[in-house]
Structure 1
């Protein structure tokens, strides 16, 4: 407690007296505005995750705001953590349906205050030894928690602090006079709410006039204007044509207005005759209507060419590919009949029906549009359009530009029966059992939807499941129907109409609604099938992302079972295609990358299943078969053999992933059967060294030197130091010695030296650096030089994520070998670097936090986080605090030794550890202890290490939780 009081005093001193006071950040007062890296929501979730009880006093709550907390509230319920929420009816902002959502929270007591003008916004969290408080401008709305410019102060206080007593007393006074939330109260409130025609809740956390009751709408008379994305795309299309291009490709996320974009471009182009080709008649009719809104003109200018319509003389002709591709219909048109042709959903264009059309006509301009140009077959869409990508906008960017409806994604646990997960790999009998259906309905009800009634789409794993589950749901009082590829177009359209009119609650389907269907009123999407492809995942999620005036957001509920492909979920949601396991873990732990008010939420058990999939030793993530697909996709996009830097620039696989299976890129290209110039054994050895050791960008000193030597043959030591300075990176004698040592290969063990060519890469003579003579001659080989310079470019690019001022960057991951190099040790001592080792006034501590059965250990060491900024370290066996290798660590503060803490969750993560920063060893806490291993007692030393700054909450909880 004394230490806690001391840290809190120091934090308050920093917050209110002197900001330069160097203290731990755990209790530091701070401003939460949603404009920095830390938004109000992430802090709120962090406090909820670690609290013992919570208290909210907020005037305004929206369903979207509540949705952002529902997963956390569910996890807290499982842990027995309860809370209270005090809210109001001030200005009739809070909707009756939102109050019903509050009633679903079994671990939260809700009351309604009668205080006139109640407008508070405060969140109090009781922890074991202290309280924390967020108070300011943020109500419990998704915009206020994540997107709006807000001012909230975050404070901490001990129980006897006056500030927390003041807030608690104010709350308790209002709470004691408030009335409990009940269904009867909601029904009564609803009657009064509906009688207030002039005030309604706006999505942006403000108020506006409710003009829904007006009979005249002005929207139809407004001219439709292009949005920001469309304006940029139209400029690029114009530039393409001015440069002589005859073809162009638009890659645009579902719901971003591709059809309107094409209509705007047609208006700019003013063709004498235009052809619009799609694969489904339903889309055809909608596209025609959209074009009429943009282009105007006489109705006779527009025509259909499909099964029942043959308006071939229309200026703007909309045709289905099935009808137009037949020779009898194609031949009736001259090849130059249309000067502008557009192909929608052009990723389908590898089919003969599409190619017949594209190869037949000779337009002045051909435009293709798709949300997903990637193909599972070998057909190259990019080549078809001469590699002219006019514009590309993916999900994250579209959300940031507010083109799409926000979504709240919930990764939930599928039903477990007798310890066995029931998911789409189970028998049909178990899939539709009463228990699983009840579990599904519980989750659907808990996570809810935006709008007055549900209009949902459920993706099932098979036709049998969709029909059987639909029948079972209907017995539970829902109105559902199943649609599969066996249903006619009329049956599909009829079901959608019924869903829109609330005659159906859900449509259950397998794959027929993955793409090419526009259902903007959908407010809930349920995924009951495993994720086989990130592309299909986004297609299915995208069904609900179109904006609609009857929903503020769409709810996505994904039932996660024990699937090997669970790792694809964070890949799909983040758009990170690097296939780097650590990146996938981070995108699961920290979902702040999602833009706008959208959120991604995983129940704890569901999150663990994703981690299990990532850590699965049999995962195909790094198999050659798995690497082949992104390689071919990138080659198709570029129209040439990709360089490694191309993978980075195009958000494809991380080049380091390639080198898990192949020693260098030349080796990889050979396995891809690419015709490349011969490279001798020594050149391959140099490429291998750079690929395995330097491409990671964790230190750029070596590659900067080699890059200059490639250009200048010789570089003086003075010029090299100036180069480092100009690059903004650190330099000192120890680092320069380390660089020279590594490039001489002396840093590496003998086997690695042999693998890397057995001779120094760089030689220092008379104060000047130069490449060895064989390497200088090898640079005359253009293929080798290109591959070497490619690795250097990748290293420089990857280095952007690392600090240029210090050798180690907090929260990045490092192997033992990396640390030996970055701490300037003369040799790689990773094989013997267990426990702690002091060398060159530095001591790295490596901790494998969860020792599992895979570690062949029955003993559990006492390594433990006591808090986010205190770590209890346990030495290796047969050690005491007075041991010659332990005593210097205990006394490191006195002896001016830097102690660095590296932690990984378990061995399933591989060789890399999270760097958690420098620590100060609390020498007073050092003590001898014992542990038992296979019936034998061993001495160990333990001590507390105080981190310079607390571990950020997402990484902390990831490391600590089993």
Structure 2
């Protein structure tokens, strides 16, 4: 109690009296704004408060379905924990739709009332914690735009439960609540009768309907921002006198319009547009006509049923055009501009025949997924000219797609077994699971007046049986598989679009090549085996349509070993770095706009478990990624190429084989040989410098690659220009790294034993003579060193230049020894903590294994994001020297640094949580049990200098 009051006093001092007050606190007042460039939004704080509260009260005038969708999974988790809340809202200006009130009734742990007052327009959120309240008040209603995108001002305040201000808000809320109308089905029915439906229209990709054939009509249609950039990329390829280019564009981002704009800019005499399905032709023809203008007769179709072969702009199916008699009826130079849609299929003979036969002035291929699993090199086919590439995250950021609310829900398991097994099919469609599916699709809902859903199943058998059972429960559904004809598929899609169907259930036939913009709910009832397929299926609902504001994506997550692919697919992070993938689960701010990604608690844990056990660096995985990148760029990649092309983390490659040269040998590349010593130096640079955790070493390497000698002062000056620390201890540490005197004997031997860089009598840095000659004589070796320097600079961008350690980055014990300027790597003997050189790193594994020895099974525990209850080693008393170094840290000017990892499954690296100091009032001797005796130990509260980021705290603590 006293500690919380003291923290609040510091918060008040810093927030309202003196911003330079040295004592910070997690209770300080905050201005909450939405700022995409800094990945900040109001929703994050709102969710953080929900996760830790004991009850909550919202007073908001306006609520949208999308706003409610951002919180549904969190509210369900609170329900599972027995946490309840109240929402007070209104009918002011009839902004709230009847449907949103029905959605509110689905949330079992929230009581809702309608304020009985004219002009109700409040926006406040109150959260009750154990002895205090948090309050968010300002301009944000419970809408997705207000919580994530709009320019809003909200103030977050914290008050002790006895504080006057919180009682004013609390009492006002309760007064309004007492006079408010409870939300019921009957009330909604009455409201629906009075409700005046406002005009609603989703912003169209290209506003307006242009009639007529005049050129001025077509010129009134403008490309969007991303299409302008892509057109510029195409023009750059053409100016380089290349005649082929590839566009990689996410599903729904307007590839057809983009290609039409490209054609409009060059006005070819004749154009050919090739697609793989006949139903796409008419839409493509219409879109081109809108953009290009001209006479209707200029635009023709070549398909099984139509043969308008004399048209200036011809739209043909690949099946028809690839027929020898049809193709040869055209002169090879007939078309000066050819476009091929869904060109990732170009490995098939029909596509290749067309591409090889025709000789256009320019050939443009378009695809959302250029990656191939059959070995065909699409990039080579287009001479490695990728004119432009836009992936899912960028398309969302530019508002080119419908926002989505993805939620990973917990699938049922049967006696701990995985549901994908064929012999468990009966469980897949058992009544209990069907009920659960229906419960979830109802709870998470959809945008719009009626559901238009697509359900991806794990087998044809499941799709048919589940469709039957859903129909028996009152839904209108149909199962479609590869056995159904194109005509049947078209008919059922039309029924979905006109409202005759609620859902189409399928396996994989709708992954791509089908355009159903009205889809407002995508349900995944199969395990994720491919991130590409995941994005294809997600993309089925991302096309904009005037009947929806967003699409709901419900992913049923079982105990699948491939669950780790879900955060990879959503984030587009293909680094194969487990820490990166975990961070994509911890922090989903990479999803831009009003879209959100959430997981129910059990589903989230299943993904963490999958990440822990995943073999992400298996040589087959790395080899496939390597081949894919080599195919993309048309040469042997360097490490920097992996980063540039969003592929594997270069650190993963060097950790696998010690250095990239060795990795290339494993890839069976014919490369210049390196001597044993060159290999050793390259290994040292790869394992110690590449990670970029300290910029000093790479700066010195960079200088020496350009200069035979570098004076101590010029090195120091360069560091100062980069705002790097230049104190004596840090610079001496850099020297010891390059002398190899910092490292253990095993590492020193591995790195070649001889100093790499020496400081001569004139205080100049220079290569050792042997290395200098190697760098001069071997161009390949020099290229590899340059490559490491390049990547290290890139890696360093995520680290602070003026601090030895960057909060929330991960470090090993060895890293800590180096970055805290210890003379030697003592990582193997640090164990839990070690006071040395006026520093004391503390390393904590928060969740220890069940079989850990009782004498080292310390009960370290976060009390809150600012306080850690911490134990010393056993057999220590308050008077032990090392304990006194910690207790008297402030007086002795010892810096205590706190490192924590969730469990041993995270490997040897720990999250750095910042500096800490002991609360002397909490220091006490206690005991812990060993097998047969009690051992003395000291317990104390560690006060963390800056309260821990809530997302990291939740991850470690849960």
Alignment of 1:384-399 (within 5 A): 384-399=381-396
Alignment of 1:301-380 (within 5 A): 301-380=298-377
Please tell me whether the aligned partners of residues 855 and 907 of structure 1 are also in contact (alpha carbons under 8 angstroms): no
Measured after TM superposition, the shift of residue 218 of structure 1 is: 6.1
Please tell me whether the aligned partners of residues 760 and 772 of structure 1 are also in contact (alpha carbons under 8 angstroms): yes
Please state if 1:626 is matched with 2:621: yes
Selected match of 1:776 from 772, 777, 791: 772
Please tell me whether the aligned partners of residues 622 and 660 of structure 1 are also in contact (alpha carbons under 8 angstroms): no
Measured after TM superposition, the shift of residue 407 of structure 1 is: 0.3
Please tell me whether the aligned partners of residues 697 and 795 of structure 1 are also in contact (alpha carbons under 8 angstroms): yes
Measured after TM superposition, the shift of residue 296 of structure 1 is: 2.6
Please state if 1:173 is matched with 2:175: yes
Selected match of 1:495 from 492, 497, 515: 492
Distance 2:266 2:851 in 1: 65
Partner of 1:571: 568
Distance 2:813 2:564 in 1: 26
Distance 1:203 1:245 in 2: 39
Distance 1:149 1:81 in 2: 31
Partner of 1:639: 634
Partner of 1:24: 24
Partner of 1:868: 865
Selected match of 1:614 from 604, 611, 615: 611
Please tell me whether the aligned partners of residues 415 and 421 of structure 1 are also in contact (alpha carbons under 8 angstroms): no
Please tell me whether the aligned partners of residues 861 and 868 of structure 2 are also in contact (alpha carbons under 8 angstroms): yes
Please tell me whether the aligned partners of residues 851 and 857 of structure 1 are also in contact (alpha carbons under 8 angstroms): no
Distance 1:79 1:785 in 2: 59
Measured after TM superposition, the shift of residue 637 of structure 1 is: 1.5
Distance 1:884 1:23 in 2: 28
Cα displacement string for residues 596-651 of structure 1 (whole angstroms, at most 9, x for unaligned residues): 000000111111001000111xx220111111122112111111111101111221
Partner of 1:293: 290
Measured after TM superposition, the shift of residue 310 of structure 1 is: 2.1
Selected match of 1:692 from 676, 687, 690: 687
Where 2:842 maps in the other structure, the secondary structure is: strand
Measured after TM superposition, the shift of residue 437 of structure 1 is: 0.4
Cα displacement string for residues 730-763 of structure 1 (whole angstroms, at most 9, x for unaligned residues): 1111111111111111111111111111111111
Question: Which shows bigger deviation, 571-580 or 233-242?
Answer: 233-242
Distance 1:446 1:423 in 2: 24
Question: Which shows bigger deviation, 234-243 or 684-693?
Answer: 234-243
Selected match of 1:59 from 31, 41, 61: 61
Cα displacement string for residues 224-265 of structure 1 (whole angstroms, at most 9, x for unaligned residues): 321111122222222322221211111111111000111111
Please state if 1:682 is matched with 2:677: yes
Please tell me whether the aligned partners of residues 210 and 290 of structure 2 are also in contact (alpha carbons under 8 angstroms): no
Distance 1:403 1:857 in 2: 57
Where 1:465 maps in the other structure, the secondary structure is: helix
Taking structure 1 as the reference length, the TM-score comes to: 0.96
Partner of 1:9: 9
Cα displacement string for residues 25-84 of structure 1 (whole angstroms, at most 9, x for unaligned residues): 411111111125431100000000000000000000000000000010000000000000
Measured after TM superposition, the shift of residue 16 of structure 1 is: 1.2
Selected match of 1:81 from 75, 83, 87: 83
Cα displacement string for residues 678-697 of structure 1 (whole angstroms, at most 9, x for unaligned residues): 10110001111111111100
Partner of 1:890: 887
The 1:201/1:171 distance shift into structure 2, 3 A limit, reads: farther
Please tell me whether the aligned partners of residues 121 and 138 of structure 1 are also in contact (alpha carbons under 8 angstroms): yes
Please tell me whether the aligned partners of residues 414 and 427 of structure 2 are also in contact (alpha carbons under 8 angstroms): no
Distance 2:416 2:571 in 1: 31
Cα displacement string for residues 173-195 of structure 1 (whole angstroms, at most 9, x for unaligned residues): 100001110001101100111xx
Distance 1:384 1:132 in 2: 59
Where 2:365 maps in the other structure, the secondary structure is: strand
Selected match of 1:276 from 273, 277, 282: 273
Partner of 1:209: none
Distance 2:86 2:742 in 1: 60
Please tell me whether the aligned partners of residues 93 and 201 of structure 1 are also in contact (alpha carbons under 8 angstroms): no
The 1:425/1:124 distance shift into structure 2, 3 A limit, reads: farther
Partner of 2:214: none
Partner of 2:503: 506
Distance 2:144 2:488 in 1: 38
Partner of 1:237: 234
Please state if 1:473 is matched with 2:470: yes
Selected match of 1:670 from 665, 671, 689: 665
Cα displacement string for residues 753-774 of structure 1 (whole angstroms, at most 9, x for unaligned residues): 1111111111111111111111
Residues matched between the structures, number:
944
In structure 2, stretches of 5+ residues that fail to align are 212-216
Distance 1:728 1:365 in 2: 49
Measured after TM superposition, the shift of residue 502 of structure 1 is: 1.0
Where 2:448 maps in the other structure, the secondary structure is: coil
Please state if 1:434 is matched with 2:436: no
Distance 1:9 1:399 in 2: 43
Distance 1:162 1:813 in 2: 42
Alignment of 1:35-114 (within 5 A): 35=35, 36-114=38-116
The 1:425/1:564 distance shift into structure 2, 3 A limit, reads: farther
Cα displacement string for residues 775-811 of structure 1 (whole angstroms, at most 9, x for unaligned residues): 1111120000000111111111100110000110011
Please state if 1:592 is matched with 2:594: no
Alignment of 1:904-923 (within 5 A): 904-923=901-920
Question: Which shows bigger deviation, 847-856 or 825-834?
Answer: 847-856
Distance 2:127 2:736 in 1: 53
Please tell me whether the aligned partners of residues 10 and 25 of structure 2 are also in contact (alpha carbons under 8 angstroms): no
Distance 1:752 1:831 in 2: 13
Distance 2:423 2:781 in 1: 52
Where 1:821 maps in the other structure, the secondary structure is: helix
Where 1:795 maps in the other structure, the secondary structure is: helix
Question: Which shows bigger deviation, 65-74 or 287-296?
Answer: 287-296
Please tell me whether the aligned partners of residues 525 and 544 of structure 1 are also in contact (alpha carbons under 8 angstroms): yes
The 1:426/1:841 distance shift into structure 2, 3 A limit, reads: farther
Distance 1:201 1:290 in 2: 24
Please tell me whether the aligned partners of residues 58 and 126 of structure 2 are also in contact (alpha carbons under 8 angstroms): yes
Cα displacement string for residues 109-153 of structure 1 (whole angstroms, at most 9, x for unaligned residues): 001111110000000000001000000000000000010000101
Taking structure 2 as the reference length, the TM-score comes to: 0.97
Cα displacement string for residues 652-701 of structure 1 (whole angstroms, at most 9, x for unaligned residues): 11111112321110000001111100101100011111111111000121
Please tell me whether the aligned partners of residues 527 and 563 of structure 2 are also in contact (alpha carbons under 8 angstroms): yes
Partner of 2:645: 650
In structure 1, stretches of 5+ residues that fail to align are 205-216
Please tell me whether the aligned partners of residues 34 and 42 of structure 2 are also in contact (alpha carbons under 8 angstroms): yes
Measured after TM superposition, the shift of residue 532 of structure 1 is: 1.0
Please tell me whether the aligned partners of residues 854 and 929 of structure 2 are also in contact (alpha carbons under 8 angstroms): no
Partner of 1:213: none
Where 1:801 maps in the other structure, the secondary structure is: coil
Please tell me whether the aligned partners of residues 424 and 530 of structure 1 are also in contact (alpha carbons under 8 angstroms): no
Measured after TM superposition, the shift of residue 22 of structure 1 is: 2.1
The 1:310/1:800 distance shift into structure 2, 3 A limit, reads: same
Partner of 1:750: 745
Please tell me whether the aligned partners of residues 700 and 796 of structure 1 are also in contact (alpha carbons under 8 angstroms): yes
Selected match of 1:733 from 728, 733, 742: 728
Measured after TM superposition, the shift of residue 326 of structure 1 is: 2.1
Q: Alpha carbon RMSD of aligned pairs, Å?
A: 1.5
The 1:907/1:855 distance shift into structure 2, 3 A limit, reads: farther
Distance 1:25 1:31 in 2: 15
Where 1:895 maps in the other structure, the secondary structure is: coil
The 1:443/1:426 distance shift into structure 2, 3 A limit, reads: farther
Where 2:877 maps in the other structure, the secondary structure is: coil
Please tell me whether the aligned partners of residues 415 and 423 of structure 1 are also in contact (alpha carbons under 8 angstroms): no
Alignment of 1:787-798 (within 5 A): 787-798=784-795
Where 1:591 maps in the other structure, the secondary structure is: coil
Please tell me whether the aligned partners of residues 400 and 596 of structure 1 are also in contact (alpha carbons under 8 angstroms): yes
Please tell me whether the aligned partners of residues 201 and 546 of structure 2 are also in contact (alpha carbons under 8 angstroms): no
